[in-house]
């Protein structure tokens, strides 16, 4: 799944993801479609959490 799709499915935009991870937005934008593993894992966990919420 692409980074862009993961961000969208998590209910975020790249600026909100940067804020959640304590990063500058330019850092997240610079990843293109190849985020580091910790960002990918964070998004996948957030998506799973959102699916479990009532």
Domain range list for the chain: 3-52
Q: How many CB atoms lie within 10 A of CB 9?
A: 15
Q: pLDDT tens digits, residue range 2-49?
A: 999 999 999 999 999 999 999 999 999 999 999 999 999 999 999 999
Q: Indicate the pLDDT class of residue 53, thresholds 50, 70 and 90.
A: confident
Decide if pLDDT at 54 tops 90.
no
pTM for the structure as a whole: 0.91
Structure tokens at 39: 């960002």
Query: DSSP letter string over 1-54?
Result: --HHHHHHHTT--HHHHHHHHT--HHHHHHTTT---HHHHHHHHHHHHHHHH--
Quick one: pLDDT at residue 1?
86
Give the dihedral sign, CA 19/37/5/42.
Answer: negative
């Amino acid at each position: 799944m692409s980074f862009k799709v993961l961000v969208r499915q998590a209910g975020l935009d790249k600026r909100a993801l940067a804020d959640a991870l304590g990063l500058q937005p330019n850092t997240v934008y610079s990843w293109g479609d190849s985020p580091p593993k910790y960002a990918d894992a964070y998004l996948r966990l957030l998506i799973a959490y959102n699916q479990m919420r009532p």
